[in-house]
A and B are shown apart, each in its own frame.
Chain A
Amino acid sequence: MDFLFYMGDVFTPINFGLLLLGTIGGLILGATPGLSPTMAVALLIPFTFQLEPQQGLILLGAAYTSTVAGGAVSAILLKIPGAPANIATTLDGHTMATKGEGAKALQLSFLASAVGGLFGVFLLIFLTPVLAQWALAFGPSHLFWLAILGVTVIGTLDSSSVVKGLLSGCIGLWLATIGFDDIMGAQRFIFHPSVSGGINVIPALIGLFAIPQVITMFTKGRSSDDAEVISVKRHPIRLAFLEVIKRKTALTIGTLTGSIIGLIPGVGGQIAGLVAYDQSKKFSKESDKFGTGHSEGIIAAESANNAMVGPSLVPLLTLSIPGSPTAAVLLGGLLIHGIFPGPDLFMNYPQVAWTFIDSMLIGQILMCVFGLYIAGLAASVARVPHAVMAAVVLGLAVFGSYSVQNSMGDVYVMATLGMAMYFLERFGFSAAPLVLGLILGPIAEANFIQGSMIANATVGAGTYFFTGWLNWFLILIVLASISYSIWMEIAARRYTTKDDAVAKEEALS
């Protein structure tokens, strides 16, 4: 019950103020189409430099939680999902809003998000210490395979193509080797003075997630998004409460689906929302009403995409393996404060770890309360012209990258990686495995070298890296994720036609 011991720290004036700021800001950012939760958190990192570690994490965690929920506002009122995680919400949420029940749709969405989110954070609270204890037994070979697992799972499950996903991961792993070798001090791949100290993770994250969005907004030209904001009529919150309780099957399916999917590295909120929506429809007695503005559709989708937030942080906090791109960005936020997550995080920095987790718990409640009140404002912000949004994001990206080390080199790295990522995305490559490769590369290399040294002095590299049940378990998961994705591609379930591929890519962008 350590989390109760540190609960009071969330309510200090600065911590609670940051939690409020992150929650309200996140709701508004989340409602803005094109600003994904990952990008919002990446752009916020430079603002945490001067904060204490737990304060910085509270801000980032609150922003993460509420951007996911905030995406529902534009999904419901504008029919534009704020993030891929809110695609399923659009199906029934917007239909309900067009029937004059926008307020009800928003209330159901935020209440379901809060229930799912709270369950997910409780899962994080109770699973993390157990896994962290278990992870203490991990040696270099296991940590090496875990890092490879993180890259391959995201590379295969998060990408449209297995080969391109793995290739993205390899590019990220290669980028991580640029700079000076830690052991020999030798120069590796230093082709420009800007990368002589290696590629700093924060500017890279900002560039990889923000710049492609900026260029995508450029491609819209001078057109305006003529999305009409549906006006919201008052709806008693008590009735929404009763509706959520009445639809407990959809709520349970959504919450459990989101929590389980959140634990699997690489499978994001978008999948959670869509799977929960589909499962809820199958189990519903009113399945024919799905898509016509049915409350179960909203409840299942929104509870799922928020339930995955907490569990998606379990691999990060216990094994230092980020399970999602946003978790990778949070890892960047921890690293700039000199904190390396992993099994000993809860022993060395219990206050940081538990205050952060507790703030996510309180953040779910704040997100629900404020979400209901600022939905109208958030929807208005969502209509900010993309010309302004592109210029704002570009300005923030440049200032944010520079402020990491007061270095123009970081700005050049940010812009170069960002532009390259835009073009890579147009050819089917994904940013998530590249980011994971960049972040996990040093972990993989350090443990590979350490493991090789142990192996050379004892049993040999082959035996050291390829024997033992844990090594084999991790290798089998790596192989299983690759095999599963290849099978999915061969079975043509992912894309039956080019039109399907186009439709999914358009939805994601």
Chain B
Amino acid sequence: MSDLPRSQHIIASGLIAGVGISVAYISFTQEPADAFVFPRLISSVFAVLAIWTFAKAILGRTKVGNGISANAMRKMLPGLIVALIYVFWAAKGLGFYTATTIAFFVLVSLYDPAPHSDIKSWIKRILITAGFMAVMYGLFAALLNVFTPREIFF
């Protein structure tokens, strides 16, 4: 195993161990105690297994999981940022349909292998986005009557 995944395993399992210990600590200290009987049972096992995994990662004995390569991270990052902005801000701030249209178009444009200099590829992306949004509006607004946040746009 290369050094990169090993260090990643240590960080990842360390975070999980941190969560496990926190959950166990809260379970054993919060009141009323009766409400935390089952969480205590679960969190004890959770913490033990998480510490075990962390110890294995430190000793370099983790056999499963390839971690994330710098290349994969570089490729996913633009999409992830767009998705995060879409979900945690734009959907509520701009309105579901406006935000989805922008996010869809940006994501398709970002990852479409067709050259950006080709005008046809842009027309294709616009048409795909329009088609998708028409289907989404038909399904959720017209068929299922879901009232989505409309905010400053739609």
Chain A residues with a Cβ under 8 A of chain B: 46-47, 49-50, 160-161, 163-164, 166-167, 170-171, 173-174, 177, 181, 183-184, 186, 188-189, 214-215, 217-224, 385-388, 390-392, 394-396, 398-399, 402-403, 406, 408, 411-412, 415, 419, 423-424, 426-429, 441, 444-445, 448-449, 452, 495, 498, 501-502, 505
Contact = CB atoms under 8 A, between A and B. Distances in A.
Interface string B27-52: 00011101111110111011001101
> Of A385, A388, A452, which is in contact with the most chain B CB atoms at under 10 Å from its CB?
A388
Contacts of A412: 87-88
A184 B32 contact: yes
B34 A183 contact: yes
Contact of B38 (A177, A426, A429): A177
Interface in B41-71: 41-43, 45-46, 49-50, 52-53, 56, 62-68
B38 A387 contact: no
B4 interface: no
B66 A399 contact: no
A445 B35 CA distance: 11
B76 interface: yes
Contacts of B153: none
Contact of A495 (B63, B88, B107, B110): B63
Instruction: Summarize B's interface: helix, strand, loop or mixed.
Output: helix
A177 B111 CA distance: 39
A193 B144 CA distance: 27
A403 B140 contact: yes
B72 interface: yes
A415 B87 contact: yes
Contact of A218 (B8, B80, B91, B144): B80
A223 B113 CA distance: 6
A177 B32 contact: no
Contact of A428 (B23, B62, B113): B62
A160 B64 contact: yes
Given A391-B104, A392-B132, A173 B42 contact: yes
Contact of B144 (A50, A164, A390): A50
A184 B62 CA distance: 41
B8 A427 contact: yes
Contacts of B87: 398, 411-412, 415
9 contacts: A184-B34, A387-B113, A391-B108, A399-B100, A399-B140, A402-B146, A403-B144, A441-B42, A501-B64
A478 to B, nearest CB: 12
Given A163-B56, A184-B34, A449-B38, 16 more contacts: A47-B139, A49-B144, A161-B64, A170-B20, A171-B16, A183-B35, A219-B76, A221-B111, A396-B136, A399-B96, A399-B136, A399-B139, A415-B88, A427-B64, A495-B63, A498-B63
